[in-house]
Structure 1
């Protein structure tokens, strides 16, 4: 998509991978110091060695420090930090230790609809039970606790719901949950004895002036001991999103709080089967949580690059929302965060009938027509789940501005022609 990598991150990884570069004067001193500290904590002072299953100790300490600073001083324990092969690996691992039972006692996992398909795929692979709760599209994809309660009580007829997944900021919907909403969700989880999974990989991607990211860990701790000593919570972050976009390094972490120590021991044992996450990905995660400080040589360049990426994404989020809402038959909620638009599209009855003849979901038919006529690939809303009778597609806002403008114009022209053809 043309996004330029963050120089400091690539410098540190290069130095870790090829330490002979420590003698190269073109590398800044702070990058060399960062790389040296990581290497000193690696077996044989090499990225090529296995680390402990939970991850390199000094990197977990830096993650804990990052969480504490992010959450206004609330402490984080490195022993509760697990470095992962991207956030996806951590989510799948936690789900694996939580799933048990058979028939009506089988573990139910509550997921938002629309959802990121990692969840439905992992639930299917583990033979668990997917419990859908619907986000409120009319209220900018807000999370309604009454809807959580409806989904939970209904699911108890056929499974044992034990896990509640939240994606904040949302994928594919792009909403940012308010603090009040998070408090309500935590109270609900406490009340019903649910394990909370907080997918927070887009925590740096908040664009709306009216929104702010609140971590579940911070809100949980500020709600008082009744909550922060009882509610089990796993939260996730990643090198793949934010302003870094380093998906290929497969770096991530999860913080797990209030997990019984016997269960934690089983989690470590299970993670040991896969030996360790990629150590280069662990090093990339270290740079994300421990970027240059104001007094360091690389700080000014780092801030310039970070702010350029995030301000560019914010501009493209607004541009995408505005253009979609100018198109007759398309309605797009505010893109408050993350990296996607998930507009609702009007599909005429004649097109719905044609899709049925082709044995396709109507929005899949729409998206295939768009692909064949324009070369633009978007994902139909049916791939994420949506309320019956509504149709959507997900589109990333990552392309360069000029390319994005061209793309949106082509979508506009296609949609108007599609509506006209099938009216």
Structure 2
């Protein structure tokens, strides 16, 4: 496979040179080569999103993409003489974008989501937050959530869109930074239904999507990411987030990115194999936690996921935390406070070490 990838990289470089694009010289815009971006635009079009190559920018993984978007938007707001701009983060959630936003001068607005809502932002919570905080300009939304493993349904997404539409009709502009890192780890038909909720033009043009091959293709070290902006003028406006951060994206990295895209297209069965692998890992791990709990009584609630992501999110019994859990079981997890929540919750990664089969029914 590695030799195949190397040969594909050579072919991709020839293809670029034939289009007079030389990766070995400065690309001052630093958004990536147009052929790869056109391929990724087609990927997004396959979800039903009406976007073009000009609306797709490359990044060194999802975290770099989010950082560049927040950088670009902060410059947009300053040029508009906006004195205060806030970003809404539902919690629990991935914490790194919060640190990135703070470094660019955003004020953070947190919403503590509830277990009965599967830790998802509801339409009423969003409506109340927008009504009470006129500085909110961006909502960070992980469509399939890390750490909770729960995913927004099309109905829940459409309810959020209705709230945003109501506020737009009153002259309020709010953008959604949608993290799609785990779209592709769940059931394809359910992911397609979620993505279909973004296709109406009046919804799409207010979205910025961040995508990555890290989880969907288990390529965490390769750092293959991209941003898709739903409105072409907005893509142009945030471009300084790229040109101000690097003089050019790495040449070999772009070629390897292109080669891996060829690999995934030529061997589509790899995607289903990875989804099945993740499902097996999650189910075995949950069964293992249930077996441990029968003996040690550590958990208040072992949550069953929405058949997506590479994690498990569970609630511990009073008096337990991630450290006592590790002491008693040898299983390491991340405390809920690492995701802006409470430490009676813990997130586990399903990892790659084999989990023994446990004959329990997951309920």
Deviation at 1:124, TM superposition (A): 1.9
Partner of 1:278: 250
Q: C-alpha separation between the residues in 2 aligned to 1:190 and 1:289?
A: 36
**Contact 1:91 1:236 (8 Å CA) reproduced:** yes
- C-alpha distance after superposition, 1:281-336 (max 9, x if no partner): 3334435555455xxxxx4xx34543332211111222233443452342122222
Partner of 1:241: 215
Among 350, 354, 359, which residue is 1:397 paired with?
350
**Contact 2:143 2:151 (8 Å CA) reproduced:** yes
**Contact 1:62 1:290 (8 Å CA) reproduced:** no
Count, aligned residues: 340
**Contact 2:90 2:120 (8 Å CA) reproduced:** no
**Contact 2:278 2:309 (8 Å CA) reproduced:** no
State the Cα RMSD in Å: 3.0
The structure-2 alpha-carbon separation of the partners of 1:391 and 1:404, relative to structure 1 and needing over 3 Å to count, comes to: farther
Matched, 1:258 2:235: no
Q: C-alpha separation between the residues in 2 aligned to 1:43 and 1:12?
A: 23
Q: C-alpha separation between the residues in 2 aligned to 1:278 and 1:215?
A: 33
Matched, 1:219 2:197: yes
TM-score, normalised relative to structure 1: 0.71
The structure-2 alpha-carbon separation of the partners of 1:383 and 1:132, relative to structure 1 and needing over 3 Å to count, comes to: same
The structure with the largest alpha-carbon Rg is 1
Partner of 2:170: none
Among 136, 140, 146, which residue is 2:118 paired with?
140
Matched, 1:57 2:34: yes
- C-alpha distance after superposition, 1:55-110 (max 9, x if no partner): 11100111111111232xx4320000101111111211222233346xx9411101
Q: Aligned ranges for residues 121-200 of structure 1 at < 5 Å?
A: 121-156=99-134, 160-192=135-167, 193-200=173-180
TM-score, normalised relative to structure 2: 0.81
Q: Which has the higher helix share?
A: 1
Among 2, 11, 15, which residue is 2:7 paired with?
15
Partner of 2:278: 313
SS at match of 1:70: coil
Q: Which has the higher contact order (CA 8 A, sep 6+)?
A: 2
SS at match of 1:205: coil
The structure-2 alpha-carbon separation of the partners of 1:213 and 1:11, relative to structure 1 and needing over 3 Å to count, comes to: farther
- C-alpha distance after superposition, 1:236-273 (max 9, x if no partner): 1112110x2222222211111225x3x54443234113
SS at match of 1:247: coil
Among 379, 395, 416, which residue is 2:334 paired with?
379
The structure-2 alpha-carbon separation of the partners of 1:135 and 1:325, relative to structure 1 and needing over 3 Å to count, comes to: farther
The structure-2 alpha-carbon separation of the partners of 1:346 and 1:257, relative to structure 1 and needing over 3 Å to count, comes to: same
Partner of 1:346: 317
**Contact 2:153 2:194 (8 Å CA) reproduced:** no
Unaligned runs of 5+ in 1: 1-6, 20-32, 294-298, 352-365, 406-423
Q: Which stretch of structure 1 is more off in the superposition, 326-335 or 282-291? A: 282-291
- C-alpha distance after superposition, 1:23-64 (max 9, x if no partner): xxxxxxxxxx556435655854x6x54445121110011111
Q: C-alpha separation between the residues in 1 aligned to 2:16 and 2:193?
A: 30
- C-alpha distance after superposition, 1:338-387 (max 9, x if no partner): 11111111132xx6xxxxxxxxxxxxxx3234445665432110110126
